[in-house]
């Protein structure tokens, strides 16, 4: 088995069918769906979609009590037979060429530990993007943080990562301590374990945005995840500090503060800004030193660029 695709599922009965239907499951590939205690009939919707899939014998549904997306991914990974694990969110879609690109990339770069797939955002009302006939470019980086630094147009998240199973297991998988940034925590722990690939160019994951249940819109969870990473770094879980890691946490600080503003946690946003002023003042994020505190004013002038609301 070359690749196991793991989908955590929670209350997405209206979306999981399309996610399963569009997956081109070929020989040597399996799909594992882990229902994380859904209450809206998601498991039943998944079964219905599986029964209609041409490769239904290569698809499994696992059910567990609600434990969060990280725990659901770990559950699926534990039962996976593939040498590599591809993680896909239940509201997102893979392109028809994604499986072939992943299998080819791992074949030609056997020493890599992770790869990230090009994403393209879409909203439900507009539908997913059309097929992109361009050929994927495979870009190699010595470590995760080097990829983050150099690939500005690439998303680095659990929704578009493929990781070697033995590396995933050696790192203990996703943490269950937080519901946000569990993916960044894993990537930071993997940073010095080997090279990573970025599959750039045409989209290979259509990433749905604007869903009301998205954890990225939950400021308390985002802040909790950020604080968790800071604590883990202080304990030495992410290795020695260098300019790449400092740049990562500078950007993470700016992102967290912007989410706090956007979700109406204005006082918390300012508290984080003043506490992390030194981190934000580093070269990669220095331009945010004056923009962040002026967010209330900038939100009136450019609301799309500086989203904010009062809670």
Domain boundaries, the chain: 3-208, 215-301
Q: Which residue has the higher pLDDT, 7 or 213?
A: 7
Enumerate the β-bridge partners of residue 32. Answer: 6, 60
- Which is the CATH superfamily of the domain at 3-208? Spore Coat Polysaccharide Biosynthesis Protein SpsA; Chain A (3.90.550.10)
User: Is 37:66 a contact under the CB 8 Å cutoff?
Assistant: yes
Report the pLDDT value the prediction gives residue 100, as an integer from 0 to 100.
94
What confidence tens digit (pLDDT) does each residue in 16-65 have?
999 999 898 888 999 999 999 999 999 999 999 999 999 999 999 999 99
Among 86, 53, 62, residue whose Cα is nearest residue 10:
62
Using CA of residue 281, residue 282, residue 283, residue 288, what is the dihedral sign? negative
Please tell me which residue, 225 or 26, carries the higher pLDDT value: 225
Q: Say whether pLDDT at 214 is over 70.
A: no
32 close to 137: Cβ distance less than 8 angstroms = no
From CA 6, how far away is CA 88, in angstroms rounded?
6
Query: Do 229 and 189 touch, CB atoms closer than 8 A?
Result: no
Distance CA 258, CA 274 (A): 14
**Predicted model pTM:** 0.93
């Amino acid at each position: 088995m070359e690749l196991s695709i793991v989908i955590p599922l929670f209350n997405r009965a209206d979306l999981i069918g399309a996610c399963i239907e569009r997956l081109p499951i070929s020989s040597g590939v399996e799909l594992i769906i882990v229902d994380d205690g859904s209450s809206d009939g998601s498991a039943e919707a998944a079964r219905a979609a599986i029964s209609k899939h041409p490769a239904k014998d290569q698809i499994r549904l696992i059910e567990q009590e609600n434990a969060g997306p990280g725990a659901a991914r770990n559950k699926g990974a534990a039962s996976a037979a593939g040498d590599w694990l591809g993680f896909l969110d239940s509201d997102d879609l893979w392109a028809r060429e994604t499986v072939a690109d992943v299998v080819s990339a791992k074949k030609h770069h056997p020493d890599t530990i992770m790869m990230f797939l090009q994403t393209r955002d879409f909203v439900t009302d507009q539908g997913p993007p059309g097929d992109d006939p361009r050929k994927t470019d495979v870009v190699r980086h010595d470590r995760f943080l080097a990829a983050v630094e150099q690939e500005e147009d690439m998303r680095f998240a659990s929704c578009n990562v493929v990781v070697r199973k033995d590396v995933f297991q050696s790192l203990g998988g996703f943490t269950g301590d937080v519901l946000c940034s569990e993916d960044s925590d894993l990537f930071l722990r993997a940073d010095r374990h080997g090279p990573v690939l970025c599959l750039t160019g045409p989209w290979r994951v259509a990433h749905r945005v604007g869903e009301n249940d998205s954890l990225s819109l939950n400021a308390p969870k985002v802040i909790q995840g950020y604080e968790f990473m800071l604590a883990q770094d202080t304990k030495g879980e992410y290795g020695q500090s260098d300019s790449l890691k400092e740049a990562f946490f500078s950007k993470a600080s700016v992102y967290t503060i912007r989410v706090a503003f956007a979700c109406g946690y204005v006082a918390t946003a300012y508290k984080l800004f003043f506490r992390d002023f030194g981190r934000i003042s580093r070269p990669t994020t220095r331009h945010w030193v004056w923009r962040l505190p002026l967010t209330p004013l900038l939100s009136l002038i450019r609301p799309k660029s500086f989203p904010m609301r009062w809670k």
